[in-house]
Amino acid sequence: MKIIQLDPSLTYRPEPENHQYRNYKDGPLLDRVKNTYTLMHTYQTVQFVKEKHTQWGSCTHRKMSVMEALNLLDNLVDESDPDVDFPNSFHAYQTAEGIRRSHPDKDWFQLVGLLHDIGKIMALDNEPQWSVVGDTFPVGCKFQQSIVFSDTTFKDNPDTKHPIYSTKYGIYKPNCGLENVLMSWGHDEYLYKVLQLNKCSIPEEGLNMIRFHSFYPWHTGGDYQHLCNEKDHRMLHWVKEFNKFDLYTKTEDIPDVKLLQPYYQELIDKYCPGVLSW
């Protein structure tokens, strides 16, 4: 049975409730956003995702610290985001500070807020934004209706005509667990692999926030329950808790990054120290 999830952010709204987030119907950025999703939904296939795992999954592209990677996001504006049009690095500090105010005792959670989007640096290394940013979804099984723009943007994706990939379970077994599902390629999966390969000590709850924070069809749309196991149901609470800070801290109030950096550098040194392989 499909469960429609209520908005996880009702308890955290720094803006008036009439402020619209994730508006995919109108607005000044809509054309850019829809074009990004159209390309994503056309080319994100099982074959494409496997190729990206081979290309990026070994983390052999460069070596740098977390803070150096974060600073690179000064040069990136997310073309899939209908809410803001400023560099992604500011959003990282907004999210982290929102979590810090509400969860002062969970420094690992604050750090997750800071670095959750760092995987978008792929877009600065010749990876097109449609394979880096935006909401994620499983490939290898039927695309669900809660995916953004799903009614019109998947028509040219060859997997929709595949005899197995186009079925409800596709290549998966019932309740196989999301850890065994091939997700569309993007910054979530890339950063998750980076943190794993470099043996960063962020708790499992934080790693799941990073890996699935863009999986809106699951944590907000209520879809893909047929692929989830008991672990996924436990982790959903944490992903939804993270989501309210990821989404509702987006404002035009730009944080003082220089003032905040020393505090977050201490958290990086605790959980993701030194130079990492990316």
Residues making up the binding site for substrate: 22, 78-80, 120, 134-135, 213-214
| Alpha-carbon dihedral 173, 42, 49, 3, rounded to 10 degrees | -40
Residues at the binding site for Fe cation are 91, 116-117, 187, 213, 246
Annotated binding site: 22, 78-80, 91, 116-117, 120, 134-135, 187, 213-214, 246
- Residue 171, Cβ density class (10 Å: 0-12 exposed, 13-18 middle, ≥19 buried): middle
Which CA distances in Å does 76 have to 65, 105, 133, 186? 18, 31, 11, 15
Burial state string for 20-48 with b = 16 or more CB within 10 A and e = fewer than 16: eeeeeeeeebeebbbebbbbbbebbbbeb
